[in-house]
Amino acid sequence: MNNAYSTAAYRLYDEKADFDKKAQGIAVGLTVGSWTELPEAAKQQMQRHLGQVVNVDVHEPVNGAPGERYADITVAYPDVNFSRDLPALLVTTFGKLSMDGRIKLIDLQPSSDFLGAFPGPKFGIKGVRDLLGVYDRPLVMSIFKSVIGHELQGLREQFLQQALGGVDLIKDDEILFENPLTPLEQRVKVCMDAAREAEQTTGQKLIYFTNLTGSTFKLKENAKRAIDAGANGLLFNVIAYGFDALAELAADPGINVPIAAHPAMAGALYPSQHYGIAAPLLLGKLIRIAGADLSLFPSPYGSVVMPKEENLGVMEALLTDALPQKPVFPVPSAGIHPGLVPLIMSDFGPEVVVNAGGGVHGHPGGAAAGGRAFRQAVDAVRHGKTLESYSENHPELRIAIERWGVRTS
Amino acid sequence: MNNAYSTAAYRLYDEKADFDKKAQGIAVGLTVGSWTELPEAAKQQMQRHLGQVVNVDVHEPVNGAPGERYADITVAYPDVNFSRDLPALLVTTFGKLSMDGRIKLIDLQPSSDFLGAFPGPKFGIKGVRDLLGVYDRPLVMSIFKSVIGHELQGLREQFLQQALGGVDLIKDDEILFENPLTPLEQRVKVCMDAAREAEQTTGQKLIYFTNLTGSTFKLKENAKRAIDAGANGLLFNVIAYGFDALAELAADPGINVPIAAHPAMAGALYPSQHYGIAAPLLLGKLIRIAGADLSLFPSPYGSVVMPKEENLGVMEALLTDALPQKPVFPVPSAGIHPGLVPLIMSDFGPEVVVNAGGGVHGHPGGAAAGGRAFRQAVDAVRHGKTLESYSENHPELRIAIERWGVRTS
Tell me which of A98, A178, A181, A274 to substitute to probe the interface with B (most B C-beta atoms closer than 10 Å).
Answer: A98
The predicted pLDDT at position B305 comes to 77
Judge: B145–A34 Cβ closer than 8 Å, yes or no: yes
Q: Which helix (H) or strand (E) holds A58?
A: strand A52-59
Model-level ipTM above the cut of 0.95: yes
Given A21, A43, A96, A126, the catalytic residue: A96
Chain B nearest-CA residue for A94: B265
Judge: B87–A213 Cβ closer than 8 Å, yes or no: yes
Output the 3-class SS for chain B: CCCCEEEEEEEEECCCCCHHHHHHHHHHHCCCCCCCCCCHHHHHHHHHHCCEEEEEEEECCCCCCCCCCEEEEEEEEEHHHCCCCHHHHHHHHHCHHHHCCEEEEEEEECCHHHHCCCCCCCCHHHHHHHHHCCCCCCEEEEECCCCCCCCHHHHHHHHHHHHHCCCCEEECCCCCCCCCCCCHHHHHHHHHHHHHHHHHHHCCCCEEEEEECCCHHHHHHHHHHHHHCCCCCEEEEHHHHCHHHHHHHHHCCCCCCCEEEECCCHHHCCCCCCCEECHHHHHHHHHHHHCCCEEEEECCCCCCCCCHHHHHHHHHHHHCCCCCCCCCEEEEECCCCHHHHHHHHHHHCCCCEEEECHHHHCCCCCHHHHHHHHHHHHHHHHCCCCHHHHHHHCHHHHHHHHHHCCCCC
> Which of these, B184, B5, B166, B188, lies nearest to B79 by C-alpha position?
B5
The predicted pLDDT at position B146 comes to 86
Judge: A213–B83 Cβ closer than 8 Å, yes or no: yes
Quote the minimal CA–CA distance from B134 to chain A in Å: 30
Quote the minimal CA–CA distance from B83 to chain A in Å: 6
Instruction: Note the pLDDT tens digit of each residue in B233-281.
Output: 999 999 999 999 999 999 999 999 999 999 999 999 999 999 999 999 9
The predicted pLDDT at position A99 comes to 96
Domains delineated in chain A: 5-115 (3.30.70.150), 124-404 (3.20.20.110)
Quote the minimal CA–CA distance from A395 to chain B in Å: 25
Neighbours of B322 (CB within 10 A): 9
Judge: A217–B248 Cβ closer than 8 Å, yes or no: yes
> Which of these, A37, A27, A43, lies nearest to A78 by C-alpha position?
A27
Tell me which of B36, B176, B265 to substitute to probe the interface with A (most A C-beta atoms closer than 10 Å).
Answer: B265
The predicted pLDDT at position A304 comes to 66
The predicted pLDDT at position A66 comes to 73
The predicted pLDDT at position A250 comes to 98
Chain A nearest-CA residue for B147: A32
The predicted pLDDT at position B121 comes to 98
The predicted pLDDT at position A25 comes to 96
Quote the minimal CA–CA distance from B372 to chain A in Å: 23
- Output the furthest CA–CA distance in chain A (Å, rounded): 81
Nearest by CB: B264 against A82, A91, A272: A91
The predicted pLDDT at position A263 comes to 98
SS3 A159: helix
Cα separation, A292 vs A328, in Å, equals: 7
| Residues of A in Cβ contact (< 8 Å) with B267 | 94, 97-100, 103, 275
- Output the furthest CA–CA distance in chain B (Å, rounded): 81
Chain B nearest-CA residue for A182: B81
Judge: A87–B237 Cβ closer than 8 Å, yes or no: yes
Tell me which of A37, A49, A174, A216 to substitute to probe the interface with B (most B C-beta atoms closer than 10 Å).
Answer: A216
> Which of these, B164, B152, B144, lies nearest to B365 by C-alpha position?
B164
Please state at what angle helix B341-348 crosses helix B367-382, rounded to 10 degrees.
50
Nearest by CB: A98 against B92, B245, B267: B267
Cα separation, A196 vs B385, in Å, equals: 80
Neighbours of B112 (CB within 10 A): 10
Please enumerate in sequence order all residues whose Cβ is within 8 A of that of A128, keeping only pairs 6 or more positions apart, or say none.
A139, A207, A258, A293, A294, A329
For chain A, list residues with pLDDT below 70: 1-2, 64, 304
Size of interface A-B (CB pairs under 8 A): 232
> Which of these, A380, A406, A381, lies nearest to A391 by C-alpha position?
A380
Kindly list the catalytic residues of B.
96
Cα separation, B175 vs A392, in Å, equals: 63
Cα separation, B257 vs A126, in Å, equals: 48
Nearest by CB: B272 against A177, A265, A272: A272
| Residues of B in Cβ contact (< 8 Å) with A46 | 149
Instruction: Note the pLDDT tens digit of each residue in B145-167.
Output: 889 999 999 999 999 999 999 99
User: What secondary structure does DSSP assign to A300-368, as a single string?
Assistant: SSSSS---HHHHHHHHHHHH-TTSSSPP-EEEEESS--GGGHHHHHHHH-SS-EEEESHHHHTSTT-HH
The predicted pLDDT at position B106 comes to 98
Sheet holding B70-78, edge to edge: B52-59, B70-78, B5-13, B102-109, B276-277
Tell me which of A43, A146, A178 to substitute to probe the interface with B (most B C-beta atoms closer than 10 Å).
Answer: A146
Chain B nearest-CA residue for A246: B216
Cα separation, A243 vs A259, in Å, equals: 13
The predicted pLDDT at position B61 comes to 86
For chain B, list residues with pLDDT below 50: 1-2
SS3 A12: strand
